[in-house]
Every structure is written in C-alpha cells, then in structure tokens.
C-alpha cells in the first residue's frame, strides 16, 4: 500500500486553526446516517472523514441515527450500518445515539421558539404552502396563520402532540423571512403530524421534527465541534445557525460542507439502489456488484483498501467524480501484498500427459507468495490428467503466442515443460482434449538447447476441488448511468456484470473460511463468499478485481 499519511485538506486547516486559537480544546465529530437503506461507497468516504479526523486529533466521533422519518426506517438497516462502521475499522464514542433520544428536548425547544414568537402553527396544505413559498426569482408571501398569538400557537402545538388533528392538517413553522433569497429560510416547517409507528418510540409520538431542525440541536446537545456534511446542505447552513442562535443551548457547532463522492459506472442514490433490489435486478443490498459497503465486503474488497481509496480521493468543495479504476486500484494494491497465491482453472480444458510415470513424474511444493515466505508453502501435486485454461491453447495462434499449440511447448507453473502433440475434437469440431508429453528433465530447470517462454497455470484433475466461481464486473456500461435526463439509468445495466462458471481450485483452499481472499494466478483476486461458501463442502469464490484494469482505454 502507499503512504497512509493523512492528506491535508481545507477541513483539517479549519480544525488546526480552531485548536490553535483555543476556540476548541478538542475535536468532536459525528456520523449521522438515516436507517433507511444500506450504506454505500459515498457513506464510506464520510465515515473515513468523520471517524478519521476524530482518530487523528485524538477526539471523538458519535454514531447517531437520524430516525425522524419512521415510515422508511428499520432495525435491519440500523444494524447493518453499525456492522459497516466497525468493519471499516472504526468505533464510535460511547453508545449508539438516536435523534429520537432527543424527541422530548426537541419538543421543548419548539415550545421555546413559540414563546419567543419565532414559530407558529400553520394550517396551509402542502400545495398551498408551496404556492406561498414563492420561487427563486419571486419572494414568498406570509402564511395567513403567521400572526397567531403565542397562546394560540402553544395551545395548537400541544393539541397536535396530543393527537387531536389529522395527519398533514397542521405544521409548526419557524417564523423567519418569507422574502429571504434562500428558500430554506422562508418559514420552514420544523414539525409535522405523522401517525407512523417508530422503530424505537413506537406510537408515543404522532408529531415528528424535520431533519434541518433536529440535526443542529442534536449536534449541539452532543457538543459536536465540527458538523461535516455534503455540499447539498450548504444552503441549509443559515437555518442550522438560526435555530441554534434562537434557543437556549450551550453549544453551537460549525457546519462545514464538502463535495459528495460520485463514482463512475455506478449509482449512489438510495432510491435507485432500492429500486435495483426491489425489482430483483441484483440479488440484494449485499450483491457484490452493488456499491454498498455490504456489497463491496462480499465481493472481497478490504477495509484497508477502501480507507486508502478515501484517502487518495481527498476532501474538497469541488465536484468529486471518481473513476472506478481508482477504487479498484486501491483494492488491488492492498490485496497484492496480503493475498496468498494459488492456481485455479475457470474454463477447464482436459490435458492427458501421455508419458506420465507414477513414481518418476514428481510434484513440487510452492510458496503462497513470492515476497512473503512467512505465508508458508503447499504441495502442488501432478497426475496423469490435468486441467488447463481453454484460452491457453490455440490451433491458430497469433504472432508472439507463448502458450500451447499443436507442436508447441509451455511450462506448467511450478512444474515441467510439456509439449502438445495432439488436439482431440468432438463431432462439432471443438477441441475437447489435448495429448501432451512431459520433458522430465525440466523440473525446476530450463530445457537444454531451447527456450520456452510461456508459463501456464494448471491443476491435477485427480487432486483439484470443484468450485463455483462468480465473475463479477461493473454493474453499468455507462460511466454516468444516471446522468442522462432523457434516459432511464436501468437502460445502462451491464448484461455481463455476472458470469457464473464451474471451475477447479487447488486442494490447499479446501478449508478456507468465508471471506478468505486469494490471488488466482494470472486470473485476478478472489474471495470466498461470505454467506454461501462452506469450507470443505461447497466452495464459492467471487472475483474481487482483476490483476489489471481491463476497462482502461
């Protein structure tokens, strides 16, 4: 892996200045996901930023669920998020926190705003409210309910809480400025009536606070110093500050925005990811083609590789569109150093070694990694029949061909030089078997008087183990599948994003645990499937990434 020294960026510069000036004595961040889906690669960037800053500055990072939208939230999602954070190598400060922990405090602060004349109960329908709000070029108009008295607003708000009014019939709105050029400041809704069962509070509440109101107060109650969010919240920062400036609270965190991650050849919209899942276009949130952390984990990506990717792409306010090759490169580099190397044959072609002699034809041992002798060795047995890759034989080889052809030679990796004497075909004219002879003088040494350049991988048919091997590729054929206004992103699904083959692997991997990673020599990096691989029984390997970027132009 490359240098893991933190890369300086504008948020670090702000933190350094805050600590130097004494504005803050330490750093407290938070990661605030909504439990309405599985986390994706964009969240991984945010996790690495928030938890990474807390680690580097010896501060704290809270994990707080934004559970203010009960209809879309579930315990499954909340548990998956906690699992993802820990798998990436981070631990949150104290116990898991929830916005719902603060529902009573949020309600009390809303009453404080009402008593100050800074919030009112509004009866406008959502349609009417949009009409009154105005546009980017036209000022909004005051709600006809804006001038209700403090007493009337308190009474109505308490009755909203008591469940006296139907869903959607009333809202509580902050009283700010309907002429503001920032539409977020045009008397935004801070509470709405919604009878929905909540995953933590059940049916205790029938009014729920809005995100913009909840988030800033939750940050302040947790004494967060730097509240980091993506650029789409930049226009919401004045509201963040307004709420905290107008309630009695002892902390005012600083909201800082950075650009979100956009990764080529995928989508990171939760709505679109959910669509892929619900329409059965992928096998679930943890499908290895999905950009979810669960999916990347199942594919065989490493936490270290993902953290290195986040480090490389950096943090800025400029548009952050990253080529998939950057992510795959970080994973490939991490695996190159740590994955044991074995041989596997994905598309087998049978080879009969016509002069194999029991007791004469010898096997050798081989190390699991040429640069890491501490990984150990295993036997690479040979037998009278072996498997090679179909692509390692050609009847009509191109110029420069260094693999097998009739009359040609190649070295078996860790073993002998063999010569192809005959190709056997079926009735359709397809080559189904090769007859080859061994040069018994070439075990561990070069043949005399001639050069053999080609080296191919192989397996003894007698000793190899059958394995289901899933060849995953990019989910979309277009670098920006959701970047076409007039076309559905599903039009760009890659029909070749998954190919399942029945191959063969070395017996050395028989007892490999799920999530064990290997380099299949000459083929790429593979990972024993997290759920369907059963050691000693059913071997299932997922292709994590190739040995090189096959998409490079």
Point out the residues that are catalytic: 34, 260, 270
Q: What is the DSSP string of 342-390?
A: E-EESSEEEEEETT--TTTS--EEEES-TT-GGG-EEEE---SEEEEEG
With residue 434 as reference, give the H or E element that holds it: strand 431-439
First to last CA, the chain: 25
Closest CA to 380 of 273, 507, 282: 507
Beta carbons within 10 angstroms of residue 292's beta carbon: 28
Cα–Cα dist 124/133, whole Å = 11
CA 429 to chain centre: 46
Closest residue by Cα to residue 71 from 212, 192, 188: 192
Alpha-carbon distance of 173 to 440, in angstroms, equals 87
Give the alpha-carbon dihedral of 441, 456, 509, 507, to 10 degrees.
-50
Pair 121, 172: CB distance under 8 Å: yes
Alpha-carbon distance values, 166 to 114, 161, 210 (Å): 21, 11, 18
Place of tokens 């709420």: 243
CB 88 within 8 A of CB 293: yes
- The Cα 438–Cα 417 span in angstroms is 6
d(CA 115, CA 97): 29
- The β-bridge partners of 190 are none
């Amino acid at each position: 892996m490359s240098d893991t020294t933190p890369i300086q960026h504008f948020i670090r510069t702000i933190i350094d200045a805050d600590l130097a000036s004494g504005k803050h004595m330490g750093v407290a961040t938070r990661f605030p996901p909504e439990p309405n889906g599985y986390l994706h690669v964009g969240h991984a960037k945010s996790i690495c930023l928030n938890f990474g800053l807390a680690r580097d500055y010896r501060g704290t990072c809270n994990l707080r669920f934004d559970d203010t939208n009960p209809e879309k939230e579930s315990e499954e999602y909340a548990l998956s998020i906690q699992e993802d954070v820990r798998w990436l190598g981070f631990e949150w400060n104290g116990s898991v926190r929830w916005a719902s922990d603060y529902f009573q405090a949020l309600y009390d602060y809303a009453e404080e705003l009402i008593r100050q004349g800074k919030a009112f109960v509004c009866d406008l329908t959502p349609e009417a409210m949009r009409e009154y709000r105005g546009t980017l070029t036209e000022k909004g108009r005051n709600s006809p309910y804006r001038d209700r008295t403090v007493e009337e607003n308190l009474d109505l708000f308490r009755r909203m809480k008591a469940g006296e009014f139907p869903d959607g019939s009333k809202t509580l709105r902050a009283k700010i400025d309907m002429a503001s050029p920032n539409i977020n400041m045009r008397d935004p809704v801070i509470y709405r009536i919604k009878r929905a069962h909540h995953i933590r509070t059940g049916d205790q509440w029938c009014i729920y606070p809005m995100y913009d109101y909840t988030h800033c107060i939750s940050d302040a109650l947790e004494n967060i110093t730097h509240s980091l969010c993506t650029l789409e919240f930049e226009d919401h920062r004045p509201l963040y500050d307004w709420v905290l400036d107008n309630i009695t609270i002892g902390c005012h965190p600083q909201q800082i925005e950075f650009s979100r991650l956009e990764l080529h050849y995928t989508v990171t919209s939760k709505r679109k990811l959910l669509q892929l899942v619900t329409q059965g276009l992928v096998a679930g949130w943890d499908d290895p083609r999905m950009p979810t952390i669960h999916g990347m984990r199942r594919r065989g990506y490493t936490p270290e590789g993902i953290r290195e990717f986040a480090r490389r792409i950096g943090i800025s306010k400029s548009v952050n569109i990253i080529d998939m090759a950057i992510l795959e490169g970080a994973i490939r580099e991490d695996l190159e150093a740590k994955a044991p190397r074995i041989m596997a044959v994905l598309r087998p072609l049978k080879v009969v070694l016509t002069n194999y002699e029991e007791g004469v034809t010898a096997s050798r041992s081989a190390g699991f990694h040429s640069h890491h002798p501490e990984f150990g060795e295993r036997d690479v047995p040979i037998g009278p029949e072996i498997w090679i890759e179909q692509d390692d034989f050609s009847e009509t080889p191109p110029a420069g061909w260094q693999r097998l052809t009739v009359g040609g030679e190649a070295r078996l990796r860790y073993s002998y030089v063999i010569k192809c004497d005959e190709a056997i075909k079926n009735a359709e004219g397809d080559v189904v078997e090769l007859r080859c002879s061994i040069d018994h003088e070439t075990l561990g040494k070069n043949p005399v008087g001639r050069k053999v350049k080609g080296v191919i991988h192989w397996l003894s048919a007698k000793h190899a183990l059958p394995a289901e091997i899933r060849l995953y590729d990019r989910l979309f054929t277009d670098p920006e599948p959701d970047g076409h206004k007039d076309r559905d992103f599903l039009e760009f699904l890659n029909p070749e994003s998954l190919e399942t083959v029945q191959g063969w692997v070395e017996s050395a991997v028989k007892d490999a645990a799920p999530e064990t990673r290997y380099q299949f020599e000459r083929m790429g990096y593979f990972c024993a499937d997290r759920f369907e691989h059963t050691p000693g029984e059913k071997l299932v390997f997922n292709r994590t990434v190739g040995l090189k970027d096959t998409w490079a132009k």
